[in-house]
Amino acid sequence: MKRPFSLIVISSPDALESEAELVNEMFRNGLQLFHLRKPRFSTRRFASYLQQIHPAYHNKVVIHSHHELCLRFPLRGVHLNHRHKKRGALKQWLLLMYLKMRKPRLTISTGLHSLSDLTRNQSRYNYVFLSPVFESISKTGYKSTFNEITLREQLPKLPYDVVAMGGITEDNILKTYDMGFAGAAVLGRIWKSENPVATFKLIQEKCLQYVPSW
């Protein structure tokens, strides 16, 4: 029996014209999970972006900053970056505890970059990103240092889902499934293409031919 596999799209970190409209079109074509990451956006600008996403899709959106917006929008979850996890980030964790109290089903995710991080107890997260699995498209010179054999050995042993990130394309996404990842997150291949929606559909079709959509 084939196991489930998640295809996640991450926003461009930069402001792109009509990006929210393109994301809505991806949702209409089957996108199941979208991570919104705009590190230079103010809270007001971030909220404005969310308002451009059709309300029917808000429960499929995870935000990487301005987490308090989960109280204004019915979002899927929050993603924690390295700044959120720094020792002494008490305010962030108090906010997170409050959000979970108000919305118990809110998911929590984070990004990891080494096998040692991966094998530590990450039970507070619903899933984690591991990157870069392949040479990054969005970050020049950001190359993978992971050993495929080691990943195949370690991933099935972990008690939480690990999502592959970094250099994901239609040509290698099925390899991440074979290695044991629970999903793959696509960024550069989508937003550096001439037609982001068509590229998303191409990658999605590749997955649907081989693994079930989640």
SS3 string, 132-185, reads: CCCCCCCCCCCCCCCCHHHHHHHHHHCCCEEEEECCCCCCCHHHHHHHCCCEEE
User: Residue 65 gets which letter from DSSP?
Assistant: S
Q: Report pLDDT for 77.
A: 98
Q: Report pLDDT for 182.
A: 94
Q: Report pLDDT for 99.
A: 95
Q: Report pLDDT for 91.
A: 79
The answer, yes or no, to whether residue 88 has pLDDT greater than 60, is no
Give the fold, CATH level 3, of 6-208.
TIM Barrel (3.20.20)
% the chain with pLDDT above 70: 95
Q: Report pLDDT for 214.
A: 46
pLDDT in tens, 147-197: 899 999 999 988 889 999 999 999 999 999 999 999 999 999 999 999 999
φ, ψ at 117 (rounded to 5°): -65, -40
Q: How far apart are CA 113 and CA 85, in angstroms?
A: 14
The answer, yes or no, to whether residue 41 has pLDDT greater than 60, is yes
Q: Report pLDDT for 39.
A: 96
User: Residue 2 gets which letter from DSSP?
Assistant: P
Mean per-residue pLDDT, 108-113: 94
The pTM of this model reads 0.93
Q: Report pLDDT for 81.
A: 87
Mean per-residue pLDDT, 10-18: 96
Pairing of β 183-186 and β 77-80: unpaired
| pLDDT range class, residue 143, cuts 50, 70, 90 | confident
Q: List b or e across 69-107, with b for residues whose CB sees 16 or more CB atoms inside 10 angstroms.
A: bbeeeebbbbbbeeebeeeeeeebeebbeebeeeeeebe
Q: Report pLDDT for 213.
A: 53
Q: How far apart are CA 42 and CA 121, in angstroms?
A: 33
Helix (H) or strand (E) holding 23: helix 19-28
Helix (H) or strand (E) holding 111: strand 107-112
The two three-digit tokens of residue 195, written as one number: 């037609």
Q: How far is CA 183 from CA 96, 135, 146, 206, 210, in A?
A: 25, 17, 17, 13, 13
- What are the extents of the domains in the chain? 6-208
| pLDDT range class, residue 87, cuts 50, 70, 90 | low
Instruction: State the burial class of residue 161 (Cβ atoms within 10 Å of its Cβ: 0-12, 13-18, 19+).
Output: middle
The answer, yes or no, to whether residue 92 has pLDDT greater than 70, is yes
| Average predicted confidence (pLDDT) for the chain | 91
pLDDT in tens, 43-53: 999 999 999 99
